[in-house]
Amino acid sequence: MIRKQTLTKPEEIKQVIPLAAGRQLELSRPLVMGILNVTPDSFSDGGRYTGVEQAVNRALQMAEEGADIIDIGGESSRPGAEPVDAEVEMHRVVPVIEALRWKSDVCVSVDTYRAQTARAAIDAGADIVNDISALRLDTAMVELVAERKVPVVLMHMQGTPRNMQIDPVYEDCVREVGDFFVNRLEFCKRHGVDKTKVVLDPGIGFGKNLSHNLELLGHLDEFTQYGCPILVGASRKSFIGMLNPAGGSADQRLGGSLAAAVLAVLAGAGIVRVHDVAETVEALKVVQAMRK
Ligand code: PT1
């Protein structure tokens, strides 16, 4: 059983995200969300048992490396990605969450915009819903989140993963993302989702070109005014590759990803969503030491 040692003095606690059963995430230091993609291409073997076993092992490894949250997703939301069947998505993520729950009490988020998947994931032990559509794509999602009282990540996205990178246009990207957050927070309020359960995410790479992404990263502090923690996912995304065209494939963007995580935290992000947990934890320890 892996238990997180996060003994924070009460006076140091600035913000907490309440979870079920009296557990909570403390935002007294930047939190690291480790990415666990449970899509067929993300594991070498398509076999069902080994697929689940490999996914659980990867999750446990990330928890040992210092991940505070494991984000489990069964549908790719990369630019151009096609949606999968709800059933397919559910049968990818739920067995992994169930199996992980036997071995660890690490906080788990489920990366889905479908209420059916989110419900099954919560029943299997997921703590948080990470919805890239910010409760817009499935009308049942807001009711689920309100009823189960689970924290929810509301992410900004222009378009859908399939078409979002074709020609993203904003008059003022930072202002429009801010207006979107205000709109979604009002929607949450109307539907009985408490603000203390909301995390806001500007959606790096989701209907944004290079300058939009850089503008958002540079103005994250403007999103803290809504009183919710900010989550940023920049890890290995294509904008990092654009800044270093000689750099090669997505798994060769560690340096840029670490820079983005550090910048995001300095600009006010409370949570960073990353592939390279150990390296990010190390980088953020330096940031945290400087800030104290
Ligand atoms: C994210 C995120 C996510 N990103 C949240 N959930 C992805 N809350 C999946 C590219 O440009 O930032 N926040 N779930 C992954 N999506 C992308 C988007 C992956 C763009 C790659 C790119 O390369």
Give the model confidence (pLDDT) of 68-101 as tens digits.
999 999 999 999 999 999 999 999 999 999 999 9
Q: Is residue 18 part of a domain?
A: no
Q: What angle do CA 41, 119, 163 make, to 5 degrees?
A: 45
Q: What is the pTM (predicted TM-score) of this model?
A: 0.94
Q: Is residue 65 part of a domain?
A: yes
What pLDDT sits at residue 2?
58
Element (H or E) spanning 140, and its range?
A: helix 140-148
Beta-carbon contacts of 102 under 8 Å, excluding residues fewer than 6 positions away, are none
Q: Is residue 114 part of a domain?
A: yes
Q: Is residue 43 part of a domain?
A: yes
Q: Is the CB of 201 under 6 A from ligand 1?
A: yes
pLDDT at 21 over 70: yes
What pLDDT sits at residue 20?
87
Q: Is the CB of 233 under 6 A from ligand 1?
A: yes
CATH code assigned at 241: 3.20.20.20
List of E strands, 61-197? 69-73, 107-111, 128-131, 152-155
CA 11–ligand 1 middle distance (angstroms): 34
Quick count: other Cβ atoms within 10 Å of Cβ 189?
A: 12
Q: Is residue 1 part of a domain?
A: no
pLDDT at 7 over 50: no
CA distance 177 to 201: 9
- For a pLDDT cut of 90, what percent of the chain falls above it? 89
Q: Is residue 57 part of a domain?
A: yes
CA distance 53 to 50: 5
What is the number of domains present in the chain? Answer: 1
Tens-place pLDDT, residues 36-51: 999 987 665 445 666 9
Q: Is the CB of 271 under 6 A from ligand 1?
A: no
φ and ψ at 289, to 5 degrees? Answer: -65, -35
Residue with tokens 């806001």: 200
Q: Is the CB of 35 under 6 A from ligand 1?
A: no
Q: Is the CB of 274 under 6 A from ligand 1?
A: no
Q: Which residue has the higher pLDDT, 50 or 134?
A: 134
CA 10–ligand 1 middle distance (angstroms): 33
Closest residue by Cα to atom 13, ligand 1, is 233
Catalytic residue numbers read 237, 273
Find the mean pLDDT for residues 127-135: 98
Between helix 254-266 and helix 277-291 the angle, nearest 10°, is 30
Least confident span in 13-22, 232-241, 279-288:
13-22
Q: Is residue 12 part of a domain?
A: no
pLDDT at 5 over 60: no
Find the mean pLDDT for residues 242-250: 93
Mean pLDDT value across the chain: 93
Closest residue by Cα to atom 12, ligand 1, is 233
Residue 77 Cα: closest atom of ligand 1: 16
Residue 161 Cα: closest atom of ligand 1: 18
Mutate which of 17, 33, 39, 78 for ligand 1? The one with the most ligand atoms within 8 Å of its CB, which is: 78
Residue 130 Cα: closest atom of ligand 1: 8
Q: Is the CB of 216 under 6 A from ligand 1?
A: no
Q: Is residue 14 part of a domain?
A: no
Range of the domain at 225: 29-291
Q: Is residue 10 very low, low, confident or very high in pLDDT (cuts 50, 70, 90)?
A: very low
Q: Is the CB of 184 under 6 A from ligand 1?
A: no
What pLDDT sits at residue 117?
98
